Amino acid sequence: MAAKARAASTTLPPAAGAEDIAEAEAALGFALPPLLASLYREVANGGYGPYDELLPLVGTGRTVLSEYRSERSASAGGETPYWPAGVLPILDWGCAMYAAVDCRSETATVLLFDPNAMADDGSAAWFVDAGSLAEWLETWLAGTGWYREDADEHEDVAEPTPWEMAASRIAEQADEPRDAP
């Protein structure tokens, strides 16, 4: 990962320190999946990865922490809840779409959030991009993701599928205090 990150970006930010990760986890109220924490601690604080690159975990501007808080707040305050607790946006695809990691999943499932698919049901916006963060990263390293420019020319490119747990995970939001992150 580190070699690909360095090859893809000439200006990688410094890695996040263990203290940064601990502070982010305390603010979130849950732990990052070990692989995700390792990426931020050992490779860089964002700035590499597929398409628009991983968001920084912490720092100024848009970060994983700020985007999570923003989406959770908008979801809780809107008519149609859509952002489940424990799902961290890690990459902005553009057009309000995110790659997000389910931190409650043992494998750190990577999800695609596409609000353009949402109507009256926030769960319609959620898709499984990869069964695990490791699988998602392997797809990026191999250059075989659905997001690559010529993906429509290849039959073996896996498309994201609806996230079956989305509705139940979003429904949990109704039981949380309104000021939860």
Q: For residue 156, is pLDDT > 70?
A: no
User: Which pLDDT value is given to residue 180?
Assistant: 45
Average pLDDT, the chain: 87
- Positive or negative, the CA dihedral 93, 96, 97, 99 is positive
Sequence-ordered list of residues with C-beta below 8 angstroms from that of 135, at least 6 positions apart, any chain: 110
Work out the number of other CB atoms within 10 angstroms of the CB of residue 176. Answer: 12
Give the strands of the sheet with 161-162, arranged side by side: 87-94, 97-102, 110-113, 126-130, 161-162
Rounded Cα distance between 82 and 116, Å, is: 12
Nearest to 89 by CA among 101, 79, 73: 101
Domains in the chain: ranges and CATH: 2-145+152-173 (3.40.1580.10)
pTM, two decimals, is: 0.87
User: Which pLDDT value is given to residue 111?
Assistant: 97
pLDDT tens digit sequence for 94-146? 889 999 999 999 999 999 999 998 877 899 999 999 999 999 999 888 878 77
% of the chain with per-residue pLDDT over 90: 61
Average pLDDT over residues 73-77: 93
Q: For residue 149, is pLDDT > 80?
A: no
pLDDT tens digit sequence for 23-58? 999 999 999 999 999 999 999 999 888 876 899 999
